[in-house]
Amino acid sequence: MDAKRELLDLLLSNAREDTTDLARQTGLDAAEVESLIAELEADGTVLGYQAVVDWDRVDGEHVQAEVELNVELDRETGYEEIARRITKFPQVASLRLISGDYDFAIDVEGESMHDVSNFVSEQIAPIPEVTQTVTHFVMETYKERGIEFGDRDDDDRLSVSP
Protein backbone atom coordinates (compact mmCIF):
# COMPACT_ATOMS: atom_id res chain seq x y z
CA MET A 1 0.00 0.00 0.00
CA ASP A 2 1.39 3.45 -0.76
CA ALA A 3 1.96 5.83 2.13
CA LYS A 4 -0.96 8.11 1.28
CA ARG A 5 -3.40 5.25 1.07
CA GLU A 6 -2.08 3.81 4.34
CA LEU A 7 -2.59 7.18 6.06
CA LEU A 8 -6.08 7.47 4.60
CA ASP A 9 -6.91 4.02 6.02
CA LEU A 10 -5.62 5.00 9.43
CA LEU A 11 -7.57 8.27 9.42
CA LEU A 12 -10.70 6.42 8.33
CA SER A 13 -10.46 4.19 11.37
CA ASN A 14 -9.49 6.97 13.76
CA ALA A 15 -9.22 10.56 12.57
CA ARG A 16 -8.08 11.77 16.00
CA GLU A 17 -4.83 9.83 15.86
CA ASP A 18 -2.06 12.38 16.26
CA THR A 19 0.81 12.88 13.87
CA THR A 20 3.41 11.19 16.05
CA ASP A 21 1.29 8.06 16.47
CA LEU A 22 0.48 7.99 12.76
CA ALA A 23 4.22 8.15 12.11
CA ARG A 24 4.95 5.35 14.57
CA GLN A 25 2.33 3.10 12.98
CA THR A 26 3.38 3.67 9.40
CA GLY A 27 7.14 3.90 9.77
CA LEU A 28 7.07 7.39 8.16
CA ASP A 29 8.56 10.33 9.99
CA ALA A 30 6.31 12.94 11.53
CA ALA A 31 7.15 15.62 8.96
CA GLU A 32 6.25 13.26 6.11
CA VAL A 33 2.92 12.47 7.77
CA GLU A 34 2.18 16.19 8.16
CA SER A 35 2.92 16.93 4.54
CA LEU A 36 1.02 13.94 3.16
CA ILE A 37 -2.04 14.88 5.18
CA ALA A 38 -1.70 18.48 4.05
CA GLU A 39 -1.66 17.21 0.45
CA LEU A 40 -4.72 15.03 1.02
CA GLU A 41 -6.54 18.04 2.42
CA ALA A 42 -5.33 20.49 -0.23
CA ASP A 43 -6.29 18.29 -3.19
CA GLY A 44 -9.74 17.74 -1.72
CA THR A 45 -9.34 14.01 -0.98
CA VAL A 46 -9.94 14.56 2.72
CA LEU A 47 -12.79 17.01 3.14
CA GLY A 48 -13.31 16.92 6.88
CA TYR A 49 -13.16 14.98 10.14
CA GLN A 50 -16.28 14.18 12.16
CA ALA A 51 -17.33 12.22 15.20
CA VAL A 52 -19.70 9.24 14.95
CA VAL A 53 -22.36 10.01 17.56
CA ASP A 54 -24.96 7.83 19.22
CA TRP A 55 -27.72 10.43 19.51
CA ASP A 56 -29.64 8.29 21.99
CA ARG A 57 -27.01 9.25 24.54
CA VAL A 58 -27.24 12.96 23.90
CA ASP A 59 -29.74 15.11 25.81
CA GLY A 60 -32.35 16.77 23.64
CA GLU A 61 -34.15 15.72 20.51
CA HIS A 62 -32.41 14.69 17.35
CA VAL A 63 -34.28 13.26 14.41
CA GLN A 64 -32.90 11.71 11.26
CA ALA A 65 -34.75 10.74 8.11
CA GLU A 66 -33.91 9.25 4.76
CA VAL A 67 -35.78 10.93 1.97
CA GLU A 68 -36.31 9.37 -1.45
CA LEU A 69 -36.57 11.93 -4.16
CA ASN A 70 -37.83 11.64 -7.73
CA VAL A 71 -37.16 14.40 -10.21
CA GLU A 72 -38.01 15.20 -13.80
CA LEU A 73 -35.22 16.71 -15.82
CA ASP A 74 -35.74 19.17 -18.62
CA ARG A 75 -33.49 20.72 -21.24
CA GLU A 76 -32.20 23.42 -18.90
CA THR A 77 -31.90 21.49 -15.65
CA GLY A 78 -29.77 18.43 -14.96
CA TYR A 79 -29.06 16.43 -11.80
CA GLU A 80 -26.14 18.70 -10.99
CA GLU A 81 -28.28 21.84 -10.76
CA ILE A 82 -30.88 20.15 -8.61
CA ALA A 83 -28.20 18.69 -6.36
CA ARG A 84 -26.54 22.07 -5.96
CA ARG A 85 -29.80 23.57 -4.74
CA ILE A 86 -30.45 20.83 -2.25
CA THR A 87 -26.94 20.54 -0.75
CA LYS A 88 -27.05 24.18 0.37
CA PHE A 89 -29.62 23.46 3.09
CA PRO A 90 -27.94 22.86 6.44
CA GLN A 91 -30.60 20.26 7.29
CA VAL A 92 -29.25 18.05 4.49
CA ALA A 93 -26.57 15.82 6.00
CA SER A 94 -25.94 13.85 2.84
CA LEU A 95 -27.16 13.77 -0.71
CA ARG A 96 -26.53 11.05 -3.24
CA LEU A 97 -27.65 10.34 -6.79
CA ILE A 98 -28.44 6.65 -6.91
CA SER A 99 -29.56 3.99 -9.34
CA GLY A 100 -32.91 2.24 -9.05
CA ASP A 101 -36.48 3.28 -8.32
CA TYR A 102 -35.77 6.88 -7.40
CA ASP A 103 -33.14 9.47 -8.19
CA PHE A 104 -31.76 11.04 -5.04
CA ALA A 105 -31.32 9.74 -1.48
CA ILE A 106 -31.15 12.52 1.10
CA ASP A 107 -30.29 12.25 4.78
CA VAL A 108 -32.09 14.99 6.64
CA GLU A 109 -31.48 15.92 10.27
CA GLY A 110 -33.55 18.09 12.56
CA GLU A 111 -34.67 18.60 16.12
CA SER A 112 -38.10 17.04 15.73
CA MET A 113 -40.20 15.04 13.26
CA HIS A 114 -42.15 18.19 12.67
CA ASP A 115 -38.96 20.04 11.80
CA VAL A 116 -37.94 17.43 9.31
CA SER A 117 -41.30 16.99 7.62
CA ASN A 118 -41.76 20.75 7.42
CA PHE A 119 -38.39 21.06 5.82
CA VAL A 120 -39.19 18.39 3.24
CA SER A 121 -42.60 19.75 2.39
CA GLU A 122 -41.64 23.42 2.37
CA GLN A 123 -38.13 23.39 0.96
CA ILE A 124 -37.68 20.21 -1.06
CA ALA A 125 -41.06 19.27 -2.48
CA PRO A 126 -41.70 22.71 -4.03
CA ILE A 127 -38.57 22.57 -6.18
CA PRO A 128 -40.07 22.56 -9.70
CA GLU A 129 -38.24 19.45 -10.95
CA VAL A 130 -39.20 17.36 -7.90
CA THR A 131 -42.07 15.02 -8.71
CA GLN A 132 -42.20 12.93 -5.55
CA THR A 133 -40.74 12.66 -2.05
CA VAL A 134 -40.99 9.75 0.39
CA THR A 135 -39.75 10.38 3.92
CA HIS A 136 -38.53 7.51 6.11
CA PHE A 137 -37.81 8.43 9.72
CA VAL A 138 -34.92 6.59 11.32
CA MET A 139 -36.16 4.62 14.31
CA GLU A 140 -32.94 2.99 15.48
CA THR A 141 -29.30 3.05 14.39
CA TYR A 142 -27.30 -0.14 14.69
CA LYS A 143 -24.17 0.76 12.80
CA GLU A 144 -22.78 3.87 11.19
CA ARG A 145 -19.61 4.33 9.18
CA GLY A 146 -18.34 0.93 10.22
CA ILE A 147 -18.96 1.50 13.90
CA GLU A 148 -21.45 -0.69 15.77
CA PHE A 149 -23.81 0.94 18.25
CA GLY A 150 -25.05 -0.50 21.51
CA ASP A 151 -23.21 -2.40 24.20
CA ARG A 152 -19.57 -3.01 23.60
CA ASP A 153 -18.09 -6.45 23.89
CA ASP A 154 -16.00 -7.00 26.98
CA ASP A 155 -12.55 -8.46 26.52
CA ASP A 156 -12.98 -11.80 28.22
CA ARG A 157 -9.60 -13.25 27.36
CA LEU A 158 -7.37 -14.47 30.19
CA SER A 159 -5.10 -11.59 31.16
CA VAL A 160 -1.95 -13.65 30.73
CA SER A 161 -1.76 -16.70 28.47
CA PRO A 162 0.92 -18.66 26.61
**At a CB cut-off of 8 Å and minimum separation 6, what does 112 contact?**
61, 63
Closer residue to another protein, CB minimum distance, 139 or 160: 160
**At a CB cut-off of 8 Å and minimum separation 6, what does 49 contact?**
11, 15, 16
Query: Which listed range, 15-23, 57-65, 69-77, 102-110, lies at the site for another protein (CB under 8 A)?
Result: 15-23
**CA separation for the pair 46, 22 (Å, rounded):** 16
- List the one residue out of 38, 65, 59, 67 whose CA is nearest residue 133: 67
Q: Find the binder of another protein among 8, 10, 46, 127 (CB under 8 A).
A: 10
> Per rule CB under 8 A, is residue 62 in the interface with another protein?
no
Helices (H), 95-155: 113-119
> Per rule CB under 8 A, is residue 51 in the interface with another protein?
no
Closer residue to another protein, CB minimum distance, 47 or 49: 49
Number of residues that bind another protein (CB under 8 A): 18
Which residues are near another protein by CB under 8 A? Answer: 9-10, 14, 17, 21, 23-27, 153, 155, 157-162
